[in-house]
Amino acid sequence: MPKLVLASSSPYRKSLLERLQQPFECASPDIDETPQPGESAEQLTQRLAQAKARALRNQFSNHLIIGSDQVLQLDGEPVSKPLNHAAAVDQLTRSSGRTLTFSTALCVLNSTTGHEQTCIEPVHVTFRDLQAEEIERYLRQEQPYDCAGSFKSEGYGITLIARMQGDDPTSLIGLPLIRLRAMLAKEGLALP
């Protein structure tokens, strides 16, 4: 049976994968995540999830390599991690009172057979009408600068949301475990 490797340095994805109670390794794929001109959020996130898994193919033979990426579509543009306070304020201000789609792509690559499975799990998030002081308090407390959309639904960021709709709640955190379990089963790894 192939071993699992998570093509990510994200502590959030690592924590989610630990829920499946299977041994795995983590490795950073070191890819360029710059959006291509005209690329939609779905196209970008799928390309990046696949690129992350494929980047580790030669390094990890006889493995199931898991690549994942998340992007928010905001005002017609794909938006990823804000990386700093000013960009996070901008993202949350623009998200206020709106329903936005977070797209999380998942790719499972069997490095032994070359078989690759890819999917995109959308989650629709409706933000409350947010006041500037609420955004400041939230960002100062949680500092979600490494999270697409500038908030953590698994943390204090849940207070910014009016409603969420999607098939997999773990998708919003960055690794859709329901779909991942199904993909792993197709590769012969039955869970539980």
| Percentages (nearest 5) of helix, strand, coil residues in the chain | 35, 25, 40
Catalytic residue among 30, 69, 129, 167: 69
CATH code: domain of residue 95: 3.90.950.10
- Residue 30 annotated in active site: no
Q: Is residue 191 part of a domain?
A: no
Residue 192 covered by a domain: no
Residue 66: domain span: 3-186
Is residue 73 assigned to a domain? yes
Q: Specify the number of domains making up the chain.
A: 1
Q: Where are the alpha helices (DSSP H) in the chain?
A: 11-18, 41-55, 85-95, 132-142, 177-186
**Is there a domain that residue 151 lies in?**
yes
Among residues of the chain, what percentage have pLDDT more than 70? Answer: 99
Query: Residue 178: inside a domain, yes or no?
Result: yes
pLDDT in tens, 106-159: 999 999 999 999 999 999 999 999 999 999 999 999 999 999 999 999 999 999
Structure confidence at residue 80 (pLDDT): 84
**pTM score above 0.85:** yes
**pLDDT given for residue 76 in this prediction:** 81
Secondary structure letter of residue 167 according to DSSP: S
What mean pLDDT is predicted for residues 86-111? 97
